[in-house]
A and B are shown apart, each in its own frame.
Chain A
Amino acid sequence: MYGLIALLAVRAAVYAMGKRTGQTGGGGAPPSEYKPSVVRFTGLAVRAAFLVAAWALRRDIAIEWLTACIVCGLPGLVVELLLIPAGIPHLTYYFTRSMYPFAIFGEPKGRAIFNELRARLRRGWLLDPERIARFGRDLVVFNNFGNDRTVGAASLAARAQLDALSGDAEHARELFALVQAMDWRHGSRAARIYSQAWLLNDAARRGAFHEVVRLSTHGPHTARRWFMRASARRILGCQAAFQDSKLVGSWLFSPARRHTFGLLRRALGTEPRPVPSRVGTGMAAAKRLSFELMRLPKGAATRNEIAELARIWQAVFDSGELRQRLTERKQALAASFEPESVAARFERQIVAMLGELVIPTAPPRDPEPYPLLLLSAMDRIQGDWFSELEALCRGLPRGNANTTDDLEQHWRTWGRVRHLTGLLSDVLPERADWIFASVGVQVLNHGSWLYNRERAQTLAHDVFYFLLRITPESDVNRETIVKNCRLST
C-alpha cells in the first residue's frame, strides 16, 4: 500500500514538473524528453519507493524479496561498498546497467563503465589495453535522440580513466578537473568525488604538493580534500599549517586511513621551513635571496617573500649599482656592448625568474601592493596564458558554424579552456575578471552554438554554469547567461 502511494506520488510529481520539448528535428515530430532534473528526481523517488516498500512489507515478505527491495533502493551503496571493493570484472558493469536504466536515471553506459573500471583497478585485473579499448568506443557520443543527455560526469570520468590508463595523463587531468567542477545536476557526486581524489593523489604521487594545495580549493567538500590540503601545506613548510590536532583530526575523518597514514606521518615529521635570510640590500643580497627561494621546493616560497625579493631587485635597478658594475666589466673585458641593453636583458631575466617563482605559490588572502617588478612578472604570466586562451577561444565554433558531431573533441577543447582559466583565476585571482572581458562573449556564443546547433545540452550547460561564476554582476550579458543556464539545466 505504502509503495503504491509512493509510486503514485512520484508519477504525480513528474507530471507536475512537466516535459521539456526539444528543437524541431528535420521534418519529423519534435523530439521530446524529460529535463535532467526530472529524470534525477524520478530516479530518487523510485529508489525511495523501493525502500518504503521494504519497510512497509518487512514482516510480510521473504528475506530474499526484502533484500532485493533494499538493493533496488540503494544500488549506489551496493556498488560502492560491495562490488567495487570486490573488484570482480564484469559484475559491476552489468549490475550498474540493470540498476540504472536510462529512462529514470540517465547516463547508464558511462556510469557502468566508470564503476567497472574502478572495480577492475582495485585488483588490476583485465586492464590490458585490448580489453579496455572497447570501453572507449561510443562513450562520449551523441545519443539516439541526437543530444548528449547520456553523457555526464560518470562518462567523462570514465573517459579520463581510460586516458590515464593509456598514459595520457595531461588529458586525463583536464577531464577529471572538468568533472569535479560540474554542476551537481549533471554530475553524480560519486564521479565528482572520485575525480577530485584522483587529481589530488596524482599531484601528491608526483611530489607536486603545491598543486595539491591549489586543487584542494575546488570541488566537492570532502574529508579527503581537507586532509590532503592540510598535509600538503605542512609538507611545503607553510607556517600556518603546523597544528597537529587539526591535521590528525582531518586524517581521522578521511577515507582510506590505512593508506594515508604514511602521508600523515610524513606531514607530522616535517619541520617548519626556516625563513630565508635577508642580508641587507644590494645586488649580492638580492642574488642570495633569489637562489634561496629558487632552491626551495616548488610552492614553498610565499607570495610575500617573492614580493620582498622583487623590492630588493627593484632597489638594485634604481640605485644604478648594476649599470656601474656592467660599465666596469665592459672596460675590464675591453668589450663593445652597451651596458644599458645588457641591464635591460638582465631585468627581463629577473622578471622571468619572479614569474617562475610566482606560478606555484598560493595567493595571500590580503595581498599587499606588489612592487613593479613583480607586477611585470604577473603581466608576463598573464600574457602567456591569455594568448593561448584567446587563440583557443577564437577557434571555438559559434554562430552559423557547421555541426561536427564530435562530442568528445568538444569536451576536450572545453577541458583545455577550463584548465587555462582555472590556472589564471587560481594564480592571479585579482585578474580573474579579465577572463570574462577577454573571452567571455566568445565562450557564451560557443555555448549557445553547442545548445542550438550541436544539441550538446549538458556541455552547453557546463559552459553557461562556468560563465555564471565569472561574469561580473554589472555585465550586460549576465541576464542572458542566467537565462541560458536555466534553460540548459
Chain B
Amino acid sequence: MNDEELANNPFLVLELTAEATRAEVERAGQKLLAQLAIGVSSVKSYQTPFGARPRDESKVRMALSALRDPEQRVLHELWLSDLEGDPQVLLGWPSAFASIGWRGPCTG
C-alpha cells in the first residue's frame, strides 16, 4: 500500500465521506462523469493527503465500482484520512551532474 494507492481512494476521488449512502455515491459519481464529459475544469483534479491528483472518467468509474462492493467499500473507509495540505516533497539538485563534469544529456 503506497501513497499512490492511498491517493486513489474512491472516497477521495468522489469527494465523499465514509458515511455516504449508496444513493449519494451514485449521485456524486454520475455528476462527476457528466461534468468531466463537458470539460468542467474544476473537477479535473481532487485533493488527497498526498497533494492534488488528476481525475478522469476512468478513475471515477473505478471508484464507483469499488464503492458498490461493500467489502471493498469498508476497506477504503478504513484508509480515509482527514489530513490535509501538501506533503513535503524533496526537490532534486539540478546541478548535481555539473559537479562531476557531466554536461551531456541527463538520464532519466
Contact = CB atoms under 8 A, between A and B. Distances in A.
Interface centre among B3, B81, B107 (most CB of A within 10 A): B107
B100 A256 contact: yes
Interface in A227-273: 235-236, 255-256, 259-260, 262-263, 266
Interface string B1-16: 1110010000000000
Contact of B49 (A291, A345, A352): A291
B103 A121 contact: yes
A130 to B, nearest CB: 14
B104 interface: yes
Nearest to B18: A329
Interface in B41-99: 49-50, 70-71, 73-75, 77-79, 81, 83, 87-99
Interface string A255-296: 110011011001000000000000000010001100110111
Nearest to A332: B19
B107 A262 contact: no
A287 to B, nearest CB: 6
Nearest to B86: A295
Contacts of A330: 70, 74
Contact of A124 (B1, B83, B103): B103
B91 A207 contact: yes
A482 interface: no
Given A169-B108, A294-B6, A205 B50 contact: no
A206 B92 contact: yes
B107 A84 contact: no
B49 A295 contact: yes
B104 A127 contact: yes
Nearest to B87: A295
B101 A122 contact: yes
Contacts of A346: 75, 78
B106 interface: yes
Interface residues of B, number: 38
A256 B73 CA distance: 55
Contacts of A295: 3, 49-50, 83, 87-88
Contact of B93 (A266, A287, A349): A266
A297 interface: yes
A266 B49 CA distance: 26
B94 A205 contact: yes
Given A122-B101, A295-B83, A342-B71, A207 B92 contact: yes
Given A235-B90, A353-B1, A259 B99 contact: yes
Contacts of A300: 88
A194 B102 CA distance: 11
B90 A333 contact: no
Contact of A292 (B1, B79, B83, B95): B83
Contacts of B83: 288, 291-292, 295
A165 B2 CA distance: 31
A333 B97 contact: no
Nearest to A270: B90
Contact of B99 (A121, A256, A322, A342): A256
A172 interface: yes
Nearest to B102: A121
Contact of B100 (A85, A127, A197, A325): A197
B70 A337 contact: yes
A359 B49 CA distance: 21
Contacts of B39: none
Contacts of A260: 99
A428 B106 CA distance: 31
A127 B105 contact: yes
Contacts of A294: 3, 6, 50, 87
B90 A297 contact: yes
A202 interface: yes
Contacts of B105: 127, 165, 167
Contacts of B99: 201, 255-256, 259-260
A342 B1 contact: no
Given A84-B101, A197-B100, A262-B95, A342 B2 contact: no
Contacts of B106: 205
A207 B91 CA distance: 5
Contacts of A235: 90
A468 interface: no
A405 B107 CA distance: 30
Interface in A347-370: 349-350, 352-353, 356
B84 to A, nearest CB: 10
15 contacts: A118-B101, A205-B96, A207-B92, A209-B90, A262-B93, A333-B73, A335-B71, A336-B70, A337-B71, A342-B75, A346-B75, A349-B75, A352-B1, A352-B2, A356-B1
Interface of A: 84-85, 118, 120-124, 127, 164-165, 167-169, 172, 194, 197-198, 201-202, 204-207, 209, 235-236, 255-256, 259-260, 262-263, 266, 283, 287-288, 291-292, 294-298, 300, 322, 325-326, 329-330, 333, 335-337, 341-342, 345-346, 349-350, 352-353, 356
Given A122-B103, A165-B107, 17 more contacts: A121-B102, A167-B107, A168-B107, A201-B100, A204-B96, A207-B89, A236-B90, A288-B81, A288-B83, A292-B83, A297-B90, A322-B78, A325-B78, A330-B70, A342-B75, A352-B2, A353-B1
